[in-house]
Amino acid sequence: MPETQAFSTRRSLWTPPSGTLGGLVAAAYIRAADQSSEAQAWRTRAEAAPPAPSFRAALRGPTVGVIAELKRRSPSKGSINPELHAVERAGEYVAAGAAAVSVLTEPERFGGVMSDLSDVAAAVAAPVLRKDFIVASVQLYEARARGAAAALLIVRALPHDALVELYDIGSSIGLDLLVEVHDEAELSAALDIGAAIIGVNNRDLESLVIQPNTAARIVPLIPRSVVAVAESGMATRADVQRAAAAGADAVLVGSAVSAASDPASAVRALADIRVERDGRPD
């Protein structure tokens, strides 16, 4: 299908998300609207911010890159680690071999705090991802101004024009964009906009159901020139080995490391598994 036709098809078929994702996106629009008067100030700070370490490069090694997440709670699990100390735990993750740190900043359902992003980015040498429900440019400007190297864009959450606009804005201010998909149609949309990093989420964010074979099905379709990240359901070494066998360059691990009593050991157990990219297309 020609690129322009694919874009047109997505525009005509996309509908606003429902379920849990729909509620989270609606709340994100409200928060972004409340920040709209600050957009220019955050943009100025973002454009003046020193370069961040490359998120994409950090995930592109011979072994699976572990993106270790800071998560206090979630809609699917409830309370995970409400007393989590972001800087301390991020330091333990990186010392144990994490390639990057994911900082959840969504406040209502995940217990995220924006100051965690700037504090962690200042404290660790590894690149930091702002993981949130990004719907407006001000959120990207704030992420870059606070030291983030990357931000998450969820294909299902955004109409086509907004996805393209936010991808272009994020790229223009030096952010790497982790573009998240859940099925083949969303993968096509991510590739059409030129996404250099694609995350495949095993969890359906509308129903919160994990379908463990989603990443195993979709990662082998991602060109080798694109960094492929397997997300959700990554808890054990066996989980990461399955992702690596499918060709995933990296995994995003949230609840398992956030809840761990020994986070360094939890990360270390996942950080030395070789990637098998040969099955992915050129």
- Could you list the active site residues? 69, 71, 131, 180, 201, 231-232
Phi first, then psi: give them for residue 250, nearest 5 degrees.
-155, 165
What's the token pair of residue 37? Answer: 């008067």
Which residues make Cβ contacts (< 8 Å) with residue 185, sequence separation at least 6? 10, 13
What is the rounded distance in angstroms from the CA atom of residue 116 to the CA atom of residue 238? 30
Burial of 132 (0-12, 13-18, 19+ CB in 10 A): buried
On whether the CB atoms of residues 59 and 226 are closer than 8 A, the answer is no
Q: At what angle do helices 184-192 and 3-13 cross, to 10 degrees?
A: 130
Closest by CA to 130, choosing from 110, 102, 157, 165, is: 102
What's the token pair of residue 225? Answer: 């020139």
